[in-house]
Amino acid sequence: MKTKKKLMIITGGIVAIILLIIAFIPAIMQSLGIHPRYDGPTFKVAGKKALIITTSHDLLAPIGKTDGDPTGVFASEMTHPYYVFLEAGMDVDVASIKGGEIPVEPQSFLYPIISDEDKRFRKDPVFQAKVKNSIRIDDIDFGEYDVVFLSGGWGAAYDLAQSDVLARKISDAYYSEKKTIIGSVCHGPLGFVNAKDQEGNLLIAGRRMTGVTDKQVKELGIEFTPKHPETELRKAGVIFESSTAFRDFFATHVTVDDEQRFVTGQNQNSGLEAAHKITELLSNR
């Protein structure tokens, strides 16, 4: 009996330790760099309007293949800016390349990388309705918004740079009377690479920007996607900036161009800071 009791105590202790470790994994991941907390200043810009744009592509596979994993927008790259803008007092609309239901990367909701904002989204019927019935970009005047923000995720590699409509409307937003601030995170800046200025030159050439690095793409082993942000931004003449870590999945970086019109975040860890920086720029106008 004593031996059985000791065994039960030891087993219970081991289970308790395992559960404790599991409970602390999100905090450990965050300390390593995943979805870091934002402790900077916050700003109110009531009455302003923001538009968040996402991919409509839902399959992670080489071009031409029909077998692959489901993908879409990486959840936090949509939820983080949405709630920052909302809490700053802004009206926030959600759009996508094709409109309708936005595909969301399933792995972005997995424990232990799901963020607090992702959890809030899953309990938010208003935001969920916007995601299920997103506006088609063709049907929107980008110039009506104070902020246009392009979210990333693997899906964005397939349809942001490929959209002539998006490229044209990014240019429209840039030249609008509101002098729209244009933001992005991770794969989002692919939507900028074909936008033109009034002389027909690439709009982002010579600007400081960031996006997901080629190093991160290689480290994650997903190099068959058609567009890689660092590669495409450099081709477009961008002065590319980024931070690195033992794995770039744990790095973060936010860049504001010298004109303070483009605010770009490096990857899934950068959305909060990028969105707060945008509200700061708006508040200073």
**pLDDT, tens only, 57-107:** 999 999 999 999 999 999 999 999 999 999 999 999 999 999 999 999 999
Strands (DSSP E) found in the chain: 49-54, 59-60, 69-70, 91-96, 135-136, 147-150, 181-185, 208-209, 239-240, 254-256, 262-265
* Model pLDDT, residue 25: 87
Lowest-confidence pick of 3-7, 104-108, 111-115, 143-147? 3-7
- Mean pLDDT, the chain, integer: 94
The mean pLDDT of 197-202, rounded to a whole number, is 98
- Reported as a single tens digit per residue, the pLDDT across 157-189 is 999 999 999 999 999 999 999 999 999 999 999
Its CATH class, for the domain covering 45-283, is alpha beta
Lowest-confidence pick of 4-18, 177-191, 242-256? 4-18
With pLDDT > 70 as the criterion, what percentage of the chain qualifies? 92
**Using an 8 Å Cβ cutoff, are 260 and 281 in contact?**
yes
Q: In terms of DSSP bridges, do strands 181-185 and 254-256 run parallel, antiparallel, or are they unpaired? A: unpaired
Going from N- to C-terminal start, the domains of the chain cover 1-30, 45-283
Select the more confidently predicted residue: 148 or 15. 148
Q: Does residue 1 surpass a pLDDT of 60?
A: no
Backbone angles phi, psi at 248, to 5 degrees: -65, -15
- The reported pTM is 0.95
The mean pLDDT of 4-8, rounded to a whole number, is 62
The mean pLDDT of 10-31, rounded to a whole number, is 73
- Reported as a single tens digit per residue, the pLDDT across 48-57 is 999 999 999 9
Question: What ranges in 106-258 are assigned the alpha helix state H?
Answer: 116-121, 125-132, 156-159, 164-174, 214-220, 229-235
* Model pLDDT, residue 201: 98
- Reported as a single tens digit per residue, the pLDDT across 116-134 is 999 999 999 999 999 999 9
* Model pLDDT, residue 93: 98
